[in-house]
Amino acid sequence: MLTDANLDSADLANASLRGAILRKATFDDALLSSADLSGADLSEADFSAASLQGIDLRGANLYKANFNAATLWGGNLSGANLKGVIIYLSNFSGSVLNGANLEDAFISDSEFSDTDLSGTSLKDAFISDTDFTGANLNRANLKNTSLDDGKH
């Protein structure tokens, strides 16, 4: 268990951290491309400016995580818990988030084009100036979701 670990600027590309407990860890400017963090506990982690292309976060706990200026295109977050997450100036294009929990999320000025959000819960989320062109929102729960000026 590495609670509050500082992994800023770390090169963890292709690393296997499946099931790791990294609560409140910071990954600012870290390279996590194609890393396997499936099932990991990353609650309240900070991924500001991190490169997360092709990352595997299936079933991960990302409760209240921060994705500020993160690049996560082509990632797999199926079934992940992203409740209360902050996503700002980030790119999730082409990622798979089917069945993920994005309740109470704050999503602004980000890119979700061609993203699979089928069966995702966005209940009570705030979404502003975000591009969902070509995204799959079939069976997504948008109850009480606030959509503001985005391309949806």
The domains found in the chain, sorted by start residue, are 1-9+24-152 (2.160.20.80)
Residue 149: per-residue pLDDT? 66
Asked if residue 56 lies in contact with residue 35, where contact means CB atoms within 8 angstroms, the answer is: yes
φ and ψ at 26, to 5 degrees?
-110, 130
21 strand-pairing partners: 41
Residues 6+ apart with CB under 8 A from 33: 13, 14, 51, 52, 53, 54, 55
Chunked mean pLDDT (size 10), the chain, 152 residues: 90 98 98 98 98 98 98 97 98 98 98 98 97 97 85 50
Residue 141: per-residue pLDDT? 96
Residues 6+ apart with CB under 8 A from 29: 8, 9, 48, 49, 50
Residue 148: per-residue pLDDT? 84
pTM greater than the 0.85 cutoff: yes
